[in-house]
Amino acid sequence: MDRFGALQLEYVTASDRSSRRRRGVLGGAVFDRLADETRACGADLGFPVAQVCTPVLGEEREVLELWRIGDDVRAGTLGRIHYTCSPDILFGSLSLHEDDVPLAAWQARERSRLYEATARAYREIFATLAAVGHPYLLRVWNYVPDINVETHGLERYRQFNGARQEALIACGRAVAGNVPAASALGHASGSPLVIYFLASRVAPAFIENPRQVSAYHYPAQYGPCSPAFSRASALGRKEGATLFISGTSSIVGHQTLHAGDPAAQTRETLRNIEALLEEAGRTVLGNTLPLESLAYKVYVRDPRDLPLIRAVLAEALGPDASVLYLKADICRRDLAVEIEAVGGRGLKPGA
């Protein structure tokens, strides 16, 4: 299992990405202000790249999140899924415009176009994992346009949760317990539903936060279907493990804390991440990773809050931490910030 320590994460700017060698690259995601769907399948890079319309904060540039593995990789396409895999790890991505869902399909089911698009996307993901032989979904990134907008009598994030759960059940997957780490953020109106993911040949470990109710056990006030994700997942054991922390916010139990105070929400979010690190150290890693050793992606709802959020993180993480700040809507309207992270003694975060 130590071989999974070869997994690497890099954040690469537009100016230097062309110089990066492609050997061992699994895939990535581009974050910028405007969608360019020619890159959604990696047309200009030779590996799958998800195009996410969430602006990078603090700098006027695009950033490529790049996942690399030490093994040789092979690429393929199945339906809308573009993937690259090593013998043990698979990276995949897909992009689906809601307008491309046939009118009759979603009307006949009395569902929204987003619901139908999400259900189709997840069914295709699971079909790909089965076909390629990497059955275990490890980490999923979901980007949903207009995530907080209400249509068809239900917020779009809640529509997404219902469709994801339906697809999990239809494909014989768990909806609680053994579910992947994940995040779901809003990106620009008019953008497609974008999903990218990591999967593995062997089963990962799934980790919950003792400070929080598991998301898949949320009460009905958060929607008719609970979100189907774990607070974290880990692939490998001890020194070779890589830890994936899901999108994490200022939620204790199941309730939002510090509404209207982005600095306090950031501090509470860090407490949740520390609790996850302690739980992961106790159950999987054998030791507790320090906060500053992780690579972070920070989603900020209102860019005017960035200085406050950045100051809290700089104090907690130090000046050398790997942090990418993005503007994005968050699944609850009263949340100002969401933070995800990746870490492990095997992970090699790059500049």
Task: Choose the catalytic residue: 155, 268, 279, 338.
Answer: 338
Q: Catalytic residue at 338? A: yes
Report yes or no: 225 and 158 within 8 Å, Cβ to Cβ. Answer: yes
β-strands 25-31, 63-68: how paired?
antiparallel
Q: Would you call 2 helix, strand, or coil by DSSP?
A: helix
- Residue 314 CB coordination number (10 Å): 12
* CA of residue 19 relative to chain centroid, distance: 26
Structure tokens at 54: 């969430």
Structure tokens at 260: 């209207």
Residue 122 main-chain phi, psi, to 5 deg: -70, -35
Q: How far is CA 311 from CA 226, 256, 267, 289, 319, in A?
A: 33, 21, 11, 22, 10
Dist CA 200 CA 13 (whole Å) = 28
Report yes or no: 27 and 49 within 8 Å, Cβ to Cβ. Answer: yes
Report yes or no: 82 and 96 within 8 Å, Cβ to Cβ. Answer: no
* String of DSSP letters for 281-332: IIIIISSPPPGGGSEEEEEESSGGGHHHHHHHHHHHH-TT-EEEEEE-B-SS
Helices (H), strands (E): how many in the chain? 5, 21
Q: Would you call 160 helix, strand, or coil by DSSP?
A: helix
Report yes or no: 48 and 93 within 8 Å, Cβ to Cβ. Answer: yes
Structure tokens at 340: 């995800």
- Residue 251 CB coordination number (10 Å): 22
**Widest CA span in the chain:** 54
Q: Which residues are designated catalytic? A: 338
